[in-house]
């Protein structure tokens, strides 16, 4: 290809020269320019191919990164900011936020090990976990859920057992709107928001469950509503965490 290009240039040059003078001298020049071009092409090819042969193996950059899945819901965006700020400032670990259209997509990705964390809700999560085994259809409900604590302990137990996903402490607010038609067996149970993490991730970052659990009951409905009104969410979340002594500047 390279040689072809150079040949083309040489030919074009030669043609112009022939048109002008048509002398024998130019024939010699053509030959020498053509030879130079070929030498250049070959040299360049040598450089390229020897460079290829000496290239090191591609290495992936494995860093201290966590992947947090969220949906487009307002509370999820707020929680993403809360977790990114808290984890980043307290542990120096960067959190990458990955957006999904639905919570089911988040659940699917974390079960496949593509995410480290996501935000779920106790009742929605319980229904989702039970759906996996087709237990939803049971009229009387799969388990007896008397109260919110029972709903939480049930979803925590089942998620860990089935998917090695750990439900950390509920952060305080609930999201009833996400459950459009709650089943009768979950009537009256708050749909508390919880950060859910892969067991493997928590094992490798032992400080993570300790840190996230500090958010337990610290973000009530009112706080989510207030934060949602703020223009600069990043600044508002940082101030919110500082006021509650959940973060302080870290040495970087």
The residue ranges that bind another protein (CB under 8 A) are 3-4, 7, 38, 41-42, 45-46, 49-50, 52-54, 62-64, 88-93, 160, 166, 168, 199, 202-210, 213-214, 245-248, 250-252
Which of 55, 181 has the CB closer to another protein? 55
> Minimum CB separation from another protein for residue 137, in Å?
30
> Minimum CB separation from another protein for residue 191, in Å?
22
* Element at 217 (helix H, strand E): none
The contacts of residue 167 (CB under 8 Å, 6+ apart) are: 120, 122, 125, 152, 155, 156, 159, 160, 194, 196
d(CA 126, CA 153): 10
d(CA 28, CA 142): 93
Which of 186, 197 has the CB closer to another protein? 197
> Minimum CB separation from another protein for residue 4, in Å?
7
Pick from 24, 86, 46: nearest CA to 247: 86
Which of 46, 132 has the CB closer to another protein? 46
Which of 21, 210 has the CB closer to another protein? 210
CA distances from 188 to 63, 159, 164 (A): 44, 22, 28
> Minimum CB separation from another protein for residue 154, in Å?
15
């Amino acid at each position: 290809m390279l040689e072809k290009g150079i040949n083309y240039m040489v030919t074009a040059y030669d043609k112009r020269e022939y048109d002008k003078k048509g002398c024998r001298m130019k024939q010699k020049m053509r030959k020498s320019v053509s030879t130079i071009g070929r030498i250049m092409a070959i040299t360049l090819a040598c450089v390229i191919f020897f460079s290829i042969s000496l290239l090191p193996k591609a290495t992936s950059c494995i860093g201290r990164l966590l992947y947090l899945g969220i949906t487009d819901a307002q509370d999820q965006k707020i929680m993403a900011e809360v977790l990114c700020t808290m984890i980043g400032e307290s542990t120096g670990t960067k959190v990458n936020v990955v957006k999904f259209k639905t919570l089911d997509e988040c659940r699917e990705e974390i079960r496949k090990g593509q995410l480290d964390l996501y935000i779920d809700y106790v009742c929605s999560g319980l229904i989702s976990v039970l759906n996996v085994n087709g237990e939803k259809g049971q009229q009387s409900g799969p388990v007896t859920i008397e109260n919110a604590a029972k709903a939480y302990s049930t979803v925590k137990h089942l998620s860990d057992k089935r998917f090695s996903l750990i439900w950390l402490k509920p952060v305080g607010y609930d999201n009833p709107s996400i459950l459009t038609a709650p089943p009768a067996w979950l009537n009256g149970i708050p749909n508390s928001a919880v950060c859910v993490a892969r067991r493997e991730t928590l094992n490798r970052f032992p400080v993570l469950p300790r840190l996230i659990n500090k958010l337990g009951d610290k973000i009530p409905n009112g706080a989510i509503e207030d934060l949602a009104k703020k223009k600069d969410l990043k600044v508002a979340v940082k101030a919110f965490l500082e006021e509650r002594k959940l973060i302080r500047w870290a040495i970087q």
